[in-house]
Amino acid sequence: MEKTSQYVTADSEQKDSSIDTLRKTIEELRTYEKKNLFINRLKLICSIVCLALCVTAVCIVFFSLQPTVQKLNDMSVTLTETGKNINTVANDLEKFDFDELSTSLQSIVETSKDTVDEVYKTAQGLSTLLEDADVAMEHINSIDFENLNNGIQKLNEILEPVADFFHIFH
């Protein structure tokens, strides 16, 4: 009879040991899942920060270039007017009449003066445009593309497991 009770006690001790091992394993799994959840939340926060940085960089570039584009537009209008004045001068030269030499010369001088004024204004616009282009380039150069690329790489590393997860359902 003693042998049976030894086996029963041994089986009972084995069961208790197995249950303790199972509890430890479950606790380790819970700890692992908590760590995994924390890491996933951290990855999500990093992704959001990277996205915010990308949006900010795009906004900075867009708003830096907007005045330059407006000035290019204004310069285009000025150049069109200058071209019209040059065409007017050319038409006046074709219609040149010796009887109206004095009048034609006066008209040419006035048109040339206006053209020179417009060319001067255009040159000033070009100078301002070049200054604005330098400012825009400084803004573009101030963007930390290495950190931006690192952020994009980290975002890719974060999203790759998500993509793999969604491929499971296909």
Q: Tens-digit pLDDT profile for the chain (170 aa)?
A: 445 555 546 578 888 889 999 999 999 999 999 999 999 999 999 999 989 998 998 888 888 878 877 887 888 888 888 888 888 887 876 776 655 677 777 888 888 888 888 888 888 888 887 888 888 888 877 877 788 788 888 888 888 888 888 877 76
> What is the structure's pLDDT at 91?
81
Residue that is written with structure tokens 């819970």 in the block: 30
How far is 145 from 143, CA to CA, in rounded Å? 6
Buried/exposed code over 89-127 (b: 16+ C-beta within 10 A; e: otherwise): beeeeeeeeeeeeeebeeeeeeeeeebeebeeebeebee
